[in-house]
Structure 1
Amino acid sequence: MPKRDKQAIGQRFLSAFRQAGAAEVAPDILLPADTLLDLYGEDIRARAYTSTDPLRGEVMLRPDFTVPVVQMHMAGGAEPARYCYLGEVFRKQDPGEERPANPRDNEYLQAGFELFAHDRQADAEVFALFHRLLAPYRLRAVTGDMGLVMDAVRALPLSEARRDALLHHVWRPGRFGRLLKRFSQPAAPRRFAESAAPWAGLRSEAEMERRMARLIADQDAAPLDPVWTARLDRLFAISAPMPDALAQLSDLARDWPDLTPAIGRVEERAGMLAYLGVAPETILFDASHGHRTMEYYDGFTFSFLAEGRAGWPPVATGGRYDALTAVLGRGGRAIPAVGGIIRPGLIAELEAA
């Protein structure tokens, strides 16, 4: 598919975002690596193209737009604010990588929209905008809520260190599952030999001593009762049209009342979607959606999927990322924020077909 065709489709979405009140921005393509590494950890190296500049140090080709847009806004933007953009992002796919099984382009266009506002209806507004723009392509809309998942983890009767570990890996289901399995079994005893040898390695001696102290303290933790893993399994198994999913969540809340506030937020959002003309019964709610497919979203999440296109990534994705604004803001100041991206290249393939 010629790049000019993808660009033309991207410009259509960009124009629609501008009509929705967004100011167009153009973040740098070459970004400092330290911010992305602090945010994602070393995992980002498996997906991003990195290089070293003699003056700027380690840099990365832009893996997404959200981080530089948030940085730009937190440096001086006022609320409410709406931004839109169109440009390439770069994602490395190693030859031995199993996911995705059908590799896509390493360089591809994203057209995006970001909304910074203290507005309870912002989630529904952004989703309704994407839903309207993508309606001609008959995509399957899936939503989730990472706030619900995080509230479930916080309600587990675990030590603070164990809860923090699960929350740290909540976007990595494989690691999350292995941790949960380990916490459900008696802790293995830990013994660290003392040595007079000089300390070596990338981590400081103080860091490693704190790590060893946490591991030693963890061996006294009681295993997680199976009733809690069963409740998590019930939560993650919920995948149904939004009204049916809300009924299942209400049933679960009878055994797990800590989830009631988060379920109330999901129900309120469904009402807002209906007010904006999006029928909730046409939207799938998947409780494990953000847990399996997103990175850094901490509230509402959504995807638009092409039916019958096995191996395709989502045509559009988005969600709420309030915590990210606190991490990237000055002095930990958080601003409510929600946004999403569309992949014009995939839209071009759908139109060509």
Structure 2
Amino acid sequence: MKNDRRARIKEVADRLAAAFVSSGALPVETDSLLPADVLLDLYGEDIRARAFVTHDPLHGEQMLRPDFTVPIVQRHMAEGAEPARYTYNGNVWRKQTGGRASEYTQVGYELFDRTDPAGADAEVFAMFAGMLAAYPLKVMTGDMGILLAAVDGLTTTDRRRAALRRHVWRPTRFVRLLERFGGMTPPPETRVALLADVAARGADAVLADAGAQQGMRSAEEVLARIAVLQEDSAAAPISAEEVEMLEQVLALKAMSSDALVQLRQMAADFPALVAPADAMEDRLKAMAARRVDVDNLPFEVSFGRTSMEYYDGFVFGFSAENCPDLPVVASGGRYDALTRVLGQGRSIAAVGGVIRPEALVAVQEGNL
């Protein structure tokens, strides 16, 4: 019966939450309705298509809670002292495809501690790995910080680096930009024609002949955009060597210890990778100290690029290998950049993760 299954889900959720509490986490509650403007600033308009939005006559546009991380970060930055550990157990709402439930339970753990990032990463991962060890799950780890550092180290304009960073979580768009910035694909013909016309007659004359204004952009905004296109057109392409290096970083996939060796080899030719390699080495040492077998821990730089948009460092995920139709069972990682956005420039080192009890119950049912 449906109620029996709900009871099993609640039992699993309560057990997981109790385990986090016994590890020192403070249980917290958050509002179910959250201000939409905060989430839109963080995720962009993409979140609007996935979240349930309503309008309150007093508080304006609101969203049913799509996750717990944002309100917990806000609460900690307003009230908390470090180090701090929190856990939560409740429902979230997201529009789904493929017949998945739009309302489901999340149980999570968040750790705020800037004194030892590697130790914090290891603590959270080892805790999740231990709690999920009895289930037939496939684990994967990654590090968004490696890819972001590689982008930051490119010899190109600030605008191009910013564009690549912005689309790191959109692999197809990222590759297209890299190919264009590297001179492997030509710019659109319409852009070439526009810039040629601007070079011949000046931007003001081109705009004056464009006809009646359409859309929401002002003439000043259009002229500013033309100036950006001119700057980009004049920039030298990213070198073939750096494009190849970035492609090697994207393709890095091995067991964690071997991946670190390969990353060190890349860093010898590309110094921007030295710092993330150092961070990875510290993290693996901290994990090994917690009895994580890092020699047999899968690692992939590109892991999480399509589903973990606010993570900017170490990431991990647990999935049901024998149940490919299930959503990810558990996931998490480091999200220092998110705290910087919510703190208006004041950042707090943060790492955490979430478990979906419904998925765990489905895994159990599939193995009965």
Structure of higher CA gyration radius? 2
Listed as ranges, the matches of 1:227-306 within 5 Å are 227-306=241-320
Distance across 2 between alignment mates of 1:175 and 1:273: 34
Distance across 2 between alignment mates of 1:206 and 1:31: 35
SS of residue paired to 2:363: helix
Q: For residues 169-212 of structure 1, what are the alpha-carbon distances to aligned partners after superposition, in whole Å with 9 as ceiling and x for unaligned?
A: 11121221222122122555344631397766445655544333
| Alignment partner of 2:177 out of 173, 176, 179 | 179
Provide the residue aligned with 2:122 in structure 1: 124
Would you say 1:143 and 2:146 are equivalent positions? no
Listed as ranges, the matches of 1:194-205 within 5 Å are 194-195=207-208, 201-202=215-216
8 Å contact kept, 1:171–1:296: no
How far apart are 1:138 and its partner, in Å?
3.1
Identity %, equivalent residues: 48
Distance across 2 between alignment mates of 1:282 and 1:205: 58
Distance across 1 between alignment mates of 2:75 and 2:222: 35
Provide the residue aligned with 1:152 in structure 2: 150
How high is the TM-score relative to the length of structure 1?
Answer: 0.92
SS of residue paired to 2:133: helix
| Paired residue type of 2:325 | G
Distance across 2 between alignment mates of 1:201 and 1:75: 40
Distance across 2 between alignment mates of 1:261 and 1:80: 24
Q: For residues 198-227 of structure 1, what are the alpha-carbon distances to aligned partners after superposition, in whole Å with 9 as ceiling and x for unaligned?
A: 766445655544333212221111222232
Provide the residue aligned with 2:52 in structure 1: 49
| Alignment partner of 2:354 out of 328, 337, 341 | 341
Provide the residue aligned with 1:6 in structure 2: 9
How far apart are 1:130 and its partner, in Å?
0.5
Would you say 1:328 and 2:342 are equivalent positions? yes
Q: 1:29 to 1:212 in 2, by over 3 A?
A: farther
Would you say 1:115 and 2:128 are equivalent positions? no
Provide the residue aligned with 1:97 in structure 2: none
How far apart are 1:60 and its partner, in Å?
1.0
| Paired residue type of 1:105 | A
| Alignment partner of 2:233 out of 197, 208, 219 | 219
Would you say 1:314 and 2:323 are equivalent positions? no
Q: 1:205 to 1:92 in 2, by over 3 A?
A: farther
8 Å contact kept, 2:323–2:363: no
| Paired residue type of 2:345 | G
Considering only aligned residues, what root-mean-square deviation do their CA atoms show, in Å? 1.9
| Alignment partner of 1:162 out of 160, 163, 177 | 160
Distance across 2 between alignment mates of 1:312 and 1:160: 40
Q: Indicate the larger mover: 241-250 or 158-167.
A: 241-250
How high is the TM-score relative to the length of structure 2?
Answer: 0.88
Distance across 2 between alignment mates of 1:321 and 1:290: 13
Provide the residue aligned with 1:106 in structure 2: 102
How far apart are 1:32 and its partner, in Å?
0.8
Structure 1 unaligned spans of 5+ = 95-101
Provide the residue aligned with 1:99 in structure 2: none
> Number of matched residues?
345
